[in-house]
Amino acid sequence: MENVNNQKTLVVKMLWMSLLLSHLIFGYIGPNFLARELTETLDQNVVLGALGFFALVNAAMAIWFNLRCYKEELWREEKSEAMGRFITMNVVSWALSETITIFGAVSLVIGLDSTVFYSFLAIGIGLHLYHRPQLGRLSQLMS
């Protein structure tokens, strides 16, 4: 059982690092390949407001999912089922953090300033780092 739990925590670490890497890939691809000149007459404030609103909603959902991962009532059930839920909630949390970076990439595609992209990128990476797997706390819950 100990070996299975070690494998699952390794999977959690690898998933977290691979999704973190995708933020960095967007950080490279965004300004180098996605940036466009604004050709349409878009109301930039409306677009920026919409992107900001959805980023805020996704950040709140990411925080909610991450907090649920470490609730003790999740771990009162069968440990293998709880570990599966833990991994799922973490992946959803990290994916929601990544969508914030993707919103930044969208801002480049529609021609917004690159500082908007870098702001979304920084928030996405920061949220992702904040939601790193807390393996010490996880081992306490699993025991």
The answer to whether position 21 is within a domain reads no
Average pLDDT over residues 8-20: 88
Predicted local distance difference test score (pLDDT) of residue 56: 96
Q: How many CB atoms lie within 10 A of CB 17?
A: 11
Residue carrying the six token digits 């807390």: 134
Predicted local distance difference test score (pLDDT) of residue 57: 96
Residue carrying the six token digits 């992946």: 91
The answer to whether position 124 is within a domain reads yes
The answer to whether position 41 is within a domain reads no
pLDDT of 36 over the 80 cut:
no
Our measurement of the distance from residue 18's CA atom to the centroid of its chain's CA atoms, rounded to an integer in Å, reads 11
Structural domain for 86, as ranges: 2-10+49-142
Q: What is the pLDDT of residues 61-73, one digit of tens each?
A: 999 988 887 777 7
Average pLDDT over residues 49-54: 94
Q: How far apart are CA 119 and CA 126, in angstroms?
A: 10
Q: How far apart are CA 52 and CA 3, in angstroms?
A: 43
The answer to whether position 75 is within a domain reads yes
Number of domains in the chain: 1
The answer to whether position 76 is within a domain reads yes
Q: What are the CA-CA distances from residue 72 to residues 23, 68, 80, 82, 143 (Å)?
A: 31, 9, 14, 10, 11
The answer to whether position 88 is within a domain reads yes
pLDDT of 100 over the 90 cut:
yes
The answer to whether position 85 is within a domain reads yes
The answer to whether position 27 is within a domain reads no
- Total-model pTM: 0.83
Predicted local distance difference test score (pLDDT) of residue 81: 77
